[in-house]
Structure 1
Amino acid sequence: MNNSQLYKGSLSTVLLKLLKENGRMYGYEMTQKVKELTANEVVLNEGALYPALHKLEAEGLLTAEVVPVGNRMRKYYAITPKGQTETESRLAELEEFVKHMQLLLGAKLSLG
């Protein structure tokens, strides 16, 4: 994601939602999915992605599995049951935030 503080504050929620909807994914796959979903408007860089994934894993919200693919190893991430619950909580919180911003700014924002 770019340097916007709004994106940085939402990164872990975005990752959890991606994994909840898509199942097991590896890092590069996540970056491509974010680009696809945002029509290349949001670029998730590795410097932000991997620390966020490691933090979510340490919190017990994700699991990681290293799998051989061809002649190299690929690390796949998957959401845990605790991560599923946390995702729902974070999405509800984000929805409330957007509602409040709509009221404060008079903007037409939508989570889609």
Structure 2
Amino acid sequence: MSANPFLKGSLQTIILKLLEDHTEMYGYEITQKVKELSGGDVLLTEGALYPALHKLEAEGYLETFTQVVDNRVRKYYRLTEEGGKQVSSKLSEAQAFIDQLQTLLNLKPSVE
């Protein structure tokens, strides 16, 4: 993943939101979607992705299933009911953090 610590701290939120938008995804698909959405600026590594996926699964926010595609077993992830609730909570936390950061750094657009 990009060396930006803000992104590292947001990885779970990014994963949850992607799964909310796409219902079910496999690991490589998640990395490619992040790359696409960021215009190539964020490269999500397996070393960052899979521990985050496993943690979300252990917390009960994700469930997995496997499917054979082109003679290969592919592991898919999807939100549980609790995971669906967590998306809103994580997005609210992210927005609050962004708002606080903008205020602290005086980055809010000026009203004229």
Give TM-score, length-normalised by structure 1: 0.93
2:102 alignment counterpart: 102
1:16 alignment counterpart: 16
- CA displacement at 1:3 relative to structure 2: 2.1
Give TM-score, length-normalised by structure 2: 0.93
Q: Percent identity?
A: 52
Matches within 5 A, 1:59-98: 59-98=59-98
User: What SS does the aligned partner of 2:44 have?
Assistant: coil
Gaps of 5+ in 1: none
Mark the CA change 1:108 to 1:36 in structure 2 (over 3 Å): closer, same or farther. farther
Larger radius of gyration: 2
Q: Which aligned runs of 4 or more in structure 1 are off by greater than 6 angstroms?
A: none
Number of aligned positions between the proteins: 109
User: What SS does the aligned partner of 1:78 have?
Assistant: strand
Deviations 1:10-45 (A, max 9, x none): 001100000001110000100110011110000000
Q: What is the Cα-based RMSD across aligned positions, in Å? A: 1.2
